[in-house]
Amino acid sequence: MSVLVGKDTRLVVTGLTGREGTFHALNNRNYGTDVVAGVTPGKRGQDVEGIPVFDTVHAAVAETGANTAMIFVPPRFAADSILEALDAGIELVVAITEGIPAHDELRVYTQLKRTPGARLVGPNCPGILSPGKANVGIIPASFFKEGNVGVVSRSGTLTYQIGNELAQRGFGNSSIVGIGGDPVPGSSFIDIIELFEQDPQTELIVMSGEIGGSAEEEAAEYIAANVTKPVVGYIAGFTAPPGKTMGHAGAIVSGTAGTAKAKAEALEAKGVRVGRTPTETAEIAMEILSA
């Protein structure tokens, strides 16, 4: 199996006719994802290499049965695009867009709480890959093969690096989920770890965090109370200076709160082994899987 995306994914891409939307939607389709529609207001009736374009997500869902949406529209339109997808009955929304204003993210977060059964991954994320089944987003799928390691990460590039380190050691992935590094994510570590815990294909979970916020500490508590599968952690930012934003909007340390050291200690206190580099993290995962 896999989590979130798979052979039953029917993808609609908002912003399909833009440069990035076209490029990544076609990459996803070439991988094997069933890309059934695109949405760009005012361009109904057009198509992008055979993918039909609609004015609204509602129309795309009615015509094609889309159940997953990928958001590739500019930041100022992204929140409304996400909300439209939720209103159209889309079960899973993957928001790739970076730079969405925080107050817009809060609007989306509030609506998610009022929409049972709907899930948002992102914003500002690389998407989701279930190797051999479906790719929704910008993850370079050629790096990965199908296997039994589930990966969840705040950082896109660290997702690729850790996954590639595992692949070089002969291990594959059940699914790879990038949750994004914004202060108001649609899905948390806990949300995705819960799915991996329930997924029979996943035998080990790798969680890649970073400085800022308390998501990793909260995940440590959840893992101790609810997760039976081994979890390996990595925290980016051991050398990050206090008060600096490091790449992501949510990656900022205030005083001693949110440091890589504090997060690693919280995870290790709950039995999660934490690597200090991506390579060490992959080596720990390999050691556990080999055993």
Q: Where are the beta strands (DSSP E) in the chain?
A: 10-14, 34-39, 47-48, 51-54, 68-71, 92-95, 119-121, 127-130, 134-137, 146-153, 173-178, 204-210, 231-236, 273-275
pLDDT of residue 130: 97
CATH 1.10.10.10 holds for 144-290? no
pLDDT of residue 240: 64
CA dihedral (148, 272, 226, 221) positive or negative: negative
> Which of 268, 289, 272, 274 has its CA nearest to residue 166?
289
pLDDT of residue 267: 96
pLDDT > 70 in the chain, percent: 93
CA-CA distances (angstroms) from residue 262 to 211, 216, 247? 9, 10, 19
CA 206 to chain CA centroid, Å, is 13
Known catalytic membership, residue 24: no
Looking at the domain that runs over 10-121, which CATH code has it been given? 3.40.50.720
pLDDT of residue 248: 55
pLDDT of residue 1: 81
DSSP 115: S
Q: Is the pTM here over 0.85, yes or no?
A: yes
pLDDT of residue 227: 98
Which residue's structure tokens are 């660290």?
158
Question: Do 10-121 and 144-290 have matching folds?
Answer: yes
For the chain, the structural domain boundaries read 10-121, 144-290
pLDDT tens digits, 185-221: 999 999 999 999 999 999 999 999 988 888 999 999 9
Residues of the chain with pLDDT under 70: 239-257
Please identify which of the residues 24, 58, 103, 248 carries the catalytic annotation. Answer: 248
pLDDT of residue 252: 52
> Which of 39, 79, 76, 41 has its CA nearest to residue 60?
39
Partners of residue 96 on adjacent β-strands: none
